[in-house]
């Protein structure tokens, strides 16, 4: 009988405990190379201290591999710093990202390299979204004319002033952004768009091969059903409490019966 009472109490308490479990696990902690990007980087090459560095290609992050899906709310928390130039170091700590329906990234000369880029929902876009006109730039080239630039037919781009890449005074151009690109500053919380399956991340810059340092990004689930404390139905609570009460009632009867026998 004691075993039966113990089983009733333990199972009842376990039933209540199951509803109070919080499952808010971190999806990923990533290191971001500041020389990698998903933006257009035609001729983005740096030669410095006998080392030649070329801008790399951002690798798509699979949301499914992180246990994330469309409609989830996630927090992108960035830390660390990167240097924007080996010639005239300037530190920054902001990033950019874009969701996509695929992991396809076109070559560096393409204007919209992320083929399946997906826009954020309206609320998030208003808070984090950017258009090409909001950026200033110190880059080698651009697809549109800027003050001080000249068109190079061989590269099909407007080239900046400055004799070579190591000239820190080159001042023309803009980042070549496209719909869906959003900014990340400190901790950014947003909703994964409906059709998104991948995420591309990069530091916020317009010339990448001369960057140094590294950035860290923690991606956490927030606000999804699986990460909330579950609240049981009132009838369920009453049922569990009734089971516990019954167990103690049986125990009291046993104790009373023993007391009567001893008398």
- Please tell me the predicted confidence (pLDDT) of residue 16: 44
Res. 173: pLDDT tops 90: no
Res. 68: pLDDT tops 90: yes
Whether 128 and 244 map to the same domain: the answer is: no
Whether 11 and 104 map to the same domain: the answer is: no
212/241: higher pLDDT = 212
Burial classification of residue 22, based on how many CB atoms lie within 10 Å of its CB (0-12 exposed, 13-18 middle, 19 or more buried): exposed
Domain that holds residue 141: 26-227
Whether 45 and 156 map to the same domain: the answer is: yes
114/144: higher pLDDT = 114
The separation between the first and the last C-alpha atoms of the chain, rounded to the nearest angstrom, is 22
- Please tell me the predicted confidence (pLDDT) of residue 135: 37
147/220: higher pLDDT = 220
Residue whose token pair is 């049922």: 239
55/236: higher pLDDT = 55
Burial classification of residue 14, based on how many CB atoms lie within 10 Å of its CB (0-12 exposed, 13-18 middle, 19 or more buried): exposed
Residue 254 three-state SS = helix
Whether 96 and 159 map to the same domain: the answer is: yes
Whether 13 and 80 map to the same domain: the answer is: no
- Please tell me the predicted confidence (pLDDT) of residue 23: 45
The DSSP output letter for 239 is H
Res. 197: pLDDT tops 90: yes
Q: Which helix (H) or strand (E) holds 235?
A: helix 234-262
Whether 165 and 258 map to the same domain: the answer is: no
Whether 159 and 250 map to the same domain: the answer is: no
Q: Where are the beta strands (DSSP E) in 146-211?
A: 150-152, 157-159, 182-184, 187-191, 198-203
Closest to 113 measured CA to CA, from 212, 25, 179 = 179
Q: Which helix (H) or strand (E) holds 10?
A: helix 2-18
Res. 198: pLDDT tops 50: yes
- Maximum Cα–Cα distance for the chain, whole Å? 111
Whether 241 and 111 map to the same domain: the answer is: no
Number of domains forming the structure of the chain:
2
- Please tell me the predicted confidence (pLDDT) of residue 69: 94
As a whole-number percent, the residues of the chain with pLDDT over 70 amount to: 56
Evaluate whether 173 touches 139 at the Cβ level (below 8 Å). yes
Whether 150 and 109 map to the same domain: the answer is: yes
The DSSP output letter for 230 is P
Whether 149 and 247 map to the same domain: the answer is: no
Res. 28: pLDDT tops 70: yes
Whether 108 and 84 map to the same domain: the answer is: yes
Whether 37 and 125 map to the same domain: the answer is: yes
216-231 pLDDT, tens digit per residue, is: 999 999 964 444 434 4
pTM above 0.85, yes or no: no
């Amino acid at each position: 009988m004691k075993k039966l009472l113990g089983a009733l109490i333990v199972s009842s308490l376990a039933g209540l405990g199951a509803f109070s479990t919080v499952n808010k696990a971190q999806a990923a902690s990533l290191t971001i190379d500041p020389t990698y990007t998903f933006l257009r980087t035609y001729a983005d090459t740096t030669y410095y201290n006998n080392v030649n560095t070329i801008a790399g290609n951002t690798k798509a992050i699979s949301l499914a591999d992180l246990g994330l899906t469309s409609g989830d709310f996630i927090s992108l928390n960035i830390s660390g710093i990167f240097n924007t130039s080996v010639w005239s170091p300037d530190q920054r700590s902001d990033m950019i990202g874009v969701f996509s329906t695929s992991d396809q990234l076109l070559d560096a000369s393409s204007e919209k390299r992320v083929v399946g880029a997906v826009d954020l929902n309206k609320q998030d876009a208003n808070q984090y979204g950017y258009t090409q006109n909001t950026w200033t730039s110190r880059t080698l080239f651009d697809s549109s004319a800027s003050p001080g630039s000249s068109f190079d037919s061989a590269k099909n781009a407007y080239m900046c002033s400055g004799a070579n890449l190591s000239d820190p005074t080159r001042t023309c151009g803009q980042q070549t952004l496209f719909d869906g690109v959003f900014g990340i500053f400190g901790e950014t919380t947003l909703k994964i768009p409906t059709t998104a399956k991948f995420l591309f991340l990069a530091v916020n810059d317009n010339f990448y091969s001369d960057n140094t340092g590294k950035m860290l990004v923690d991606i956490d689930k927030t606000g999804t059903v699986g990460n909330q404390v579950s609240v049981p139905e009132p009838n369920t609570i009453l049922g569990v409490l009734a089971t516990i009460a019954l167990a103690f009632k049986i125990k009291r009867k046993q104790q009373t019966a023993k007391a009567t026998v001893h008398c």
